[in-house]
Amino acid sequence: MFEAVQKNKRRTYFIATLCFVFLGVVVYFIAEFSGLGNIAIPIAVLVAICSTFFSYFFSDKIVLASSHAKPADEETEKYLHNIVEGLCVASGLPKPRIYVVDDPAPNAFATGRNPQKAVVCVTTGLLQRLDYYQLEGVLAHELAHIKNYDILLSTVVTVMVGIVIILSDIFTRFMFFGGGRSRRSNDDNGGGIQIILFIIGLIFIILAPLFGQLLKMALSRNREYLADSTAIEFTRNPEGLATALEKISQDPMPVEHANKATANMYICNPLRNKKGESVDLFSTHPPIDKRIEAIRNIR
């Protein structure tokens, strides 16, 4: 477990650097195509630095705000607070802040940049639909993400990838309506190199959202298995988490304020179509049946 945590910490630094470079390249091409010329590089570096800083310190607030989450009152949600406090004693973690989303679909996620700044968020549907041991299993799973230092990586990547997707969308719309490269198009010295760079940059920006989704998928799948096994260490009750996953995955309702940017943070994919099926082709979560099988095989 210690090795897994250390690996997650190293991976966080690597992925944060990768996101920094990736965002910088996207901004550079956008600035270059917009005719900003020599100041394209400084603009790209500045935007990448500001975005990384903003993501590190404020990504949890962005996720909570986009999810319409509210702090869980200790009096009205005493049941929830008591379970979290008991799990914190078992896990050795400081008690995280607890938030609730008013949504009938059962689900939960954790966010924050470290155990001292962590947040656990659950939907009202989760509190209403799960029994004590199932709720304990879900909360243990989210605390496991905190224990394993998954939360910083997933939250920062969610925000950074979201920024890249927004910039890519703005740029493609800008290009579609005939904007950009006005200065370069009148530059007689541009030549074939400029055309090649233009094509490479255009392909890079168009594929940026797909790359971001693949990155989130690669990061999320393995950490879900690790969090499941860590949660069982906290509760010593595999069946609680297994039946909770069954109940959550069988619910046909999507989480209203969840989206493709934040879906990877939830314990189960929060997106559903009208038939109640998962709508994400590149799912950030491993199949529920395989997770449940792995949990029930823990000895």
**Largest Cα span, the chain:** 72
Average confidence score pLDDT of the chain: 80
| Rounded mean pLDDT, 262-284 | 67
Structure confidence at residue 283 (pLDDT): 61
Same domain, 43 and 15: yes
**Quick one: 14 exposed, middle or buried, by C-beta within 10 A (0-12, 13-18, 19+)?**
exposed
Q: How many CA atoms lie within 13 A of 193 on its CB side?
A: 4
Outline where DSSP puts E strands in the chain. Answer: 69-71, 97-101, 108-111, 119-123
Q: 100 - beta bridge partners? A: 70, 122
Torsions phi, psi for 170 (to 5 deg): -60, -45
91: which DSSP letter?
A: H
Structure confidence at residue 98 (pLDDT): 97
pLDDT digits (tens, 9 = 90+) for 174-194: 666 555 554 444 454 555 666
Domain interval for residue 192: 2-64+154-217
Structure confidence at residue 235 (pLDDT): 95
Q: Kindly list the distances between the CA atom of residue 227 and the CA atoms of 142, 232, 248, 282, in Å, as whole numbers in the listed order.
A: 7, 9, 17, 20
Same domain, 227 and 147: yes
- Single-letter amino acid, residue 29: F
Q: How many CB atoms lie within 10 A of CB 297?
A: 8
217, 248, 271: which is the final residue of a domain?
217
Closest CA to 22 of 216, 251, 232, 233: 216
Which pTM value belongs to this model? 0.78
pLDDT digits (tens, 9 = 90+) for 142-179: 999 999 887 877 777 777 777 777 777 767 666 665 55
Using pLDDT thresholds of 50, 70 and 90, give the confidence band for residue 127.
very high
Same domain, 108 and 206: no
Using pLDDT thresholds of 50, 70 and 90, give the confidence band for residue 277.
very low
Same domain, 141 and 254: yes
Same domain, 138 and 228: yes
- The b-or-e profile of 67-97 (16+ CB within 10 A means b, else e) is bebeebeeeebeebbebbeebbeebebeebb
Q: Domains in the chain: how many in total?
A: 2
Q: Please state the separation of Cα 168 from the chain's center in Å.
A: 19
| Rounded mean pLDDT, 107-122 | 93
Q: 110 - beta bridge partners? A: 120
State the virtual CA torsion across 137, 138, 141, 145 in degrees, nearest 10: -160
Q: How many CA atoms lie within 13 A of 147 on its CB side?
A: 27
Q: How many CA atoms lie within 13 A of 23 on its CB side?
A: 29
217, 241, 263: which is the final residue of a domain?
217
Closest CA to 267 of 131, 125, 161: 125
Whether 123 contacts 267, CB under 8 Å: no
Same domain, 239 and 284: yes
- The b-or-e profile of 164-198 (16+ CB within 10 A means b, else e) is bbebbeebeeebeeeebbeebeeeeeeeeeeeeeb
Same domain, 76 and 147: yes
Active site residue 277: no
Q: What is the number of residues in the chain? A: 299
Same domain, 50 and 77: no
Using pLDDT thresholds of 50, 70 and 90, give the confidence band for residue 3.
low
How many separate helices (H) and strands (E) can be counted in the chain? 10, 4
198, 217, 236: which is the final residue of a domain?
217
Q: Which residues contact 194 (CB under 8 A, 6 or more apart)?
A: 184, 187
Same domain, 164 and 206: yes
Same domain, 212 and 232: no
Domain CATH number, residue 273: 3.30.2010.10
> How far is the C-alpha of 121 from the C-alpha of 124, rounded, in Å?
10
Same domain, 233 and 144: yes
Same domain, 75 and 211: no
Q: Which one of 32, 136, 142, 224 is the catalytic residue?
A: 142
